[in-house]
Amino acid sequence: MPSVTQHTPEQTRRNEAFKAREADARRQKTKEIEAVVAEIQKLRQDADGVALKLTERSEHLRKLARTSLDEGASNYLVFANAHLRLAGALAQGFRRTVPMDRLLQAAEDQRLDAERREMQAAERQLAREKAHETNRLTIPQDDDFDELYGDIVTEADDA
């Protein structure tokens, strides 16, 4: 027969305190992660705005260089084209990272659903235990009366 480990109240209290500290550490780490994610999203949004402005200014320079009659206009055209390519690469990179936001949101939704299901399962289990306890207390036992008043009833029957 397998041995069952009996925990003393002190061990149980320590285990519960450890679990509470562990849950608190997990919550703090989650908050920190969420803050970093929000900061990255903000920076990405800001950088996307800068890339858009870089595109606009490079296109404007390109237009000016193409209409210029100056001999150095080709240098400006090369400069503008290089920055247009850079801005295009940045914009493409930003577009590729947008689905990652949806990925994070889907993962968060799944985590919240799992927590909700766990809470519902715990509530159902508690309700089952309460119902079982209530049934156990309300169902009369055959020998309850005899157990309580057996000697008195036996003496009364003999008299």
pLDDT in tens, 21-76: 998 898 899 899 999 999 999 999 999 999 999 999 999 999 998 888 788 888 99
* Residue 123 predicted with pLDDT over 60: yes
What is the residue type of 16? Answer: E
pTM of the model: 0.59
pLDDT reported for residue 72: 81
Question: How does pLDDT run across 94-109, given as a tens digit for each residue?
Answer: 889 888 888 888 888 8
Most confident among 48-57, 91-100, 130-139, 147-156 (mean pLDDT):
48-57
pLDDT score recorded for residue 84: 95
What residue segments make up the domains of the chain, in order of their start?
34-158
Q: How far apart are the first and last CA of the chain?
A: 52
* Cβ partners under 8 Å of residue 42, min gap 6: none
Q: Name the pLDDT band for 9 (thresholds 50, 70, 90).
A: confident
Token pair 């157990």 in the structure block, residue: 147
CA distance 110 to 106: 6
Query: In this structure, how many other beta carbons lie within 10 angstroms of the beta carbon of residue 104?
Result: 14
pLDDT band at 1 (very low <50, low <70, confident <90, very high): very low
Smallest CA-to-CA distance from 65 within 75, 53, 57 is with: 75
Q: Nearest to residue 63, comparing CAs of 73, 54, 50?
A: 73
